[in-house]
Amino acid sequence: MSAPILRGPADAGSGAADAAAAAAADAVWLADAVRLATENVAAGGGPFGAVIVRDGALVAVGQNRVTRDNDPTAHAEVTAIRAACSALADFSLAGATLYTSCEPCPLCVSAALWARVDRIVFAADRHDAARAGFDDLEFYELFARDRATWSTPVVSLRLEQSAEPFDAWLAEAARTHY
């Protein structure tokens, strides 16, 4: 697995040209994500697309499949992450950039964190999504509130055996960390 390209103050001399080139490359990949999103609308799906890139090469793309697959978690970013991990036969996308047509919702930003992507770049934002009738903004506001105020109760029910799965995990010498 290759290391991400990091630019620090030490190489700031050629930094401006590098930064401009990186921004131009970002814009090209991001435009692909936006195009996938628009095409998905014509195909009867939601207006979201995503592209995953590593080392300057395309790894996978994703489009929103919620209504097609009856899968409320099939957001474009999740679909792209699943396809990328499948293509790489790896559960980590370290070193990769996720380009998405719209700011990732809490589900997708969490999925990207779990996937260990290096960067997320988005085009439209949560306010654009709200204008189109999507709940991204609402969910962000929900997460910012005390969970006790939610209309959907999230209930903690501590069982005697609640810790058993973690005890089993910690006792499993052959466990695969992720």
Q: How many CB atoms lie within 10 A of CB 141?
A: 11
Q: Tell which positions 41-100 bind Zn ion, by CB under 5 A.
A: 75
Q: Is 107 in the site for Zn ion (CB under 5 A)?
A: yes
Q: Which is nearer to Zn ion, 54 or 65 (CB)?
A: 65
Q: Which is nearer to Zn ion, 59 or 122 (CB)?
A: 122
Q: Which is nearer to Zn ion, 59 or 108 (CB)?
A: 108
Q: Report in angstroms how near the CB of residue 94 gets to Zn ion at its nearest.
A: 21
Q: Which of 34, 52, 74, 105 binds Zn ion (CB under 5 A)?
A: 105
Binding residues for Zn ion (CB under 5 A): 75, 105, 107-108
